[in-house]
Structures are given as C-alpha cells and as structure tokens.
Structure 1
Amino acid sequence: MSRQQQVRQRAGTIEKNAIRLDIDKAELVVEALNIDLAAMYVLYHQLRKHHWNGSGPQYRELHLFWGEAAEEAEYSADEIAERIQALGGVPVSGPAMLEHHSPIPFEGEDVYDARTSMKNDLEAYGDIIESVSSHIDLSESVGDHATGEILRERLVKLEEFAHEMDHFLAHDSLTLWE
C-alpha cells in the first residue's frame, strides 16, 4: 500500500469553478466567506461550552436553547464551507486558522454565570450579523447572487437567535442567586 500523499488543492488558493464566477471575484467572496465560516465555528464552540456548563433556575430552558443555537451555528458553518468549495476555494478548518480568520474572539475556557454567558453570546451574534450583512453586499456587488441568498438565509437565523437572547436578558430573567 502506497503512503504517498498528493495535495489536490492548497489552502488559500482559488480554482476555476462550475459557477463561472471569475477567479478574482471568487477570491473576494471566498475570503469573506472564510471569515464567516471561522466566526460560526468560534460561536459554535462557545455555545456548546455554555450548553454543557449552564446552571441555575432556568437550566433546562437554557440548556435546550444553547444546544439548538449550537446546532444552527454548525449547520450554518457547513453551508458556508460548501459554498466556498463550490466557488473553487478551500474552507478554513484547523483551529489556528479558524481563530485567525474569526472576527469574534473565543470566550476562553472559564465558565461564567448564565447572564454573562448570554451577554457574550449576544455580542458575538451582533458581530457576526454585521459581518454577514456586509458579505451579502460584497457577494452581490461582484455578481454572486446565490452566495448573497445563502447568507441572507443564515442572517435570518442569526437574527432570530439574537432576538431570543435579548429576551433571555430581560431584567426579570437569569437572576443571579447568591
């Protein structure tokens, strides 16, 4: 059995695509999408951390919410990665590259109270919403309307979860117990 490895495509490169988007335009869109992909994975890991470590009087509701939000973030990441590949690019995938490309920082390993966790999540969602919105405009400005549509669908979900988080953070919820 041969142990020879052959690189099919180098990370950071763009190849011709079946979509027929010029390589220069595809490169701009892929670069933007890799930012959104990285952000989705950083968000996914943060949401999973909160899902695993949540506690308090609203534990069950928060546990389910964070689990659902994490699943949606993972689904969004997959959609974005598949679009990157369709455009002739290579989706970022390693932890170092995800952290490097993400516009949102990873919250870290510490465990926070539910309110702080939710505030951190809402802040991350706001940053991602801004990024995705600008990338819709970018993709459509170069004639890639399908990517714009994919990002619009992801944007709707991001805004829905951000809206729900805002409700969790209402003054009468997630009360700290001392």
Structure 2
Amino acid sequence: MSSQQSIRQQYGTVQANALKLDEEKAKQSVDALNTDLANAYVLYHQLRKHHWNVDGAEYDQLHDWFGDAAEDAETAADEMAERVAALGGVPVSGPAALESHATVDFEGEDVYDARTSLENDLETYGDVIEAVREHVTVAENLGDYATSEVLRDHLAELEADADDLRGFLADDTLVLESAMH
C-alpha cells in the first residue's frame, strides 16, 4: 500500500447520494446490503471450494452446478456492492470485515463427501435466504424500492439454487448401490 493515503470516504459512513434517499434511510439500506454482500461472499467461497473438490459419479453435473452457482453469488455480490456505493456508502470488502458482517458461517477448509457438501450448502442457502427476505422488507419499509428490487432478484436466484440442491439431495438416484461403494 502506498505510504501516501488520501481517504475519500471512511468505511461505515454514508454520504449524501444522488438518489434523493434520506441519509439515515440510506444508512439502514447500506447496513442491510453489506450483511447480504458478506453472506454472498461466504456462500461464494463455499460453493467455489465444492466446485474444486467435488468427486464421484455425479462429478460433471455437480462441478458445473457449483461453478455456475458460485458465479451467480459473485454477480449478486457485485450488484449489492454497486448499490451500496450508489446509496453513498462503502461496500464491505476485506476478508476480516466480510467475516464479521456475515450472518452465516463458512463450513471450513475440510473437504466433505458430495452429499455432506450439498447439505451444508442447503443449510447456508436457507440462512442467506432468510436474511435477504428480511432485508427486502427493510428496504420496502424505507421506501428504497430499487434496493428491494436488487435483493428480490438475488432472492429469486437463491431460491432456485436451493431448490436445485433439494433435488440433488433426493433419495431417488440412477446410480446403482454397488457403484456407490
């Protein structure tokens, strides 16, 4: 980092915005978005880890799904971060800050079998979905309809992915029992 520092805006502050949203309301939206942004990155890293480590009979399908789902989480994070900036805030970005703002926990560095990984992902998705739903309502109540729309779009993708996970975890499979051992 350069020895000369000129901070334009300190993290945790919200400046006046061109969106004509009251600064106190903008701050509440920024706080909610930063939580969802942090959660999106926890989810992203967990999905990316599973993309790298998946193995087994469903390798191709799961590898592709994990990669696509991780990209979706990263895209959603980018959209939320850009909305934070538009509201006059500073998006949460550093690893320690992301961890402290997230309301979901990363499963850790260990590698699990595909079913356990999917179960962990489904649990994480559920927790992220609950937080985003709550923040849609917060944004609506603040009259911040554009933030609500950004979060609704993210919520729809999360719910679709959670339904995919439910399908992957179904007990019906074409893989023969003898092939599973």
TM class by shorter chain equals over 0.9
Q: Deviations 1:85-118 (Å, cap 9, x if unpaired)?
A: 0000000000011111111101100000000000
Deviation at 1:4, TM superposition (A): 2.3
Could you tell me which residue of structure 2 aligns to residue 100 of structure 1? 100
Could you tell me which residue of structure 1 aligns to residue 85 of structure 2? 85
Could you tell me which residue of structure 2 aligns to residue 66 of structure 1? 66
Matches of 1:120 and 1:89, distance apart in 2: 32
Could you tell me which residue of structure 2 aligns to residue 145 of structure 1? 145
Could you tell me which residue of structure 1 aligns to residue 129 of structure 2? 129
Q: Deviations 1:36-84 (Å, cap 9, x if unpaired)?
A: 0000000000000000000011001100000000000000000000000
Please point out which of 167, 175, 180 is paired with 1:177: 180
Could you tell me which residue of structure 2 aligns to residue 116 of structure 1? 116
Letter in 1 for 2:111: V
Q: Deviations 1:140-175 (Å, cap 9, x if unpaired)?
A: 101101111111111110000000000000013487
Could you tell me which residue of structure 2 aligns to residue 162 of structure 1? 162
Matches of 1:19 and 1:3, distance apart in 2: 34
Letter in 1 for 2:136: I
Letter in 2 for 1:48: R
CA RMSD of aligned residues (A): 1.5
Q: Give the count of matched residue pairs.
A: 177
Matches of 1:3 and 1:137, distance apart in 2: 43
TM-score by length of 1: 0.96
Identity of aligned residues (%): 58
Could you tell me which residue of structure 2 aligns to residue 12 of structure 1? 12
Letter in 1 for 2:23: I
**What is the SS of the residue equivalent to 1:56?**
coil
Letter in 1 for 2:15: E
Deviation at 1:3, TM superposition (A): 5.3
Runs of 5+ consecutive residues of structure 1 not aligned to the other structure: none
Matches of 2:96 and 2:41, distance apart in 1: 12
TM-score by length of 2: 0.94
Deviation at 1:20, TM superposition (A): 1.0
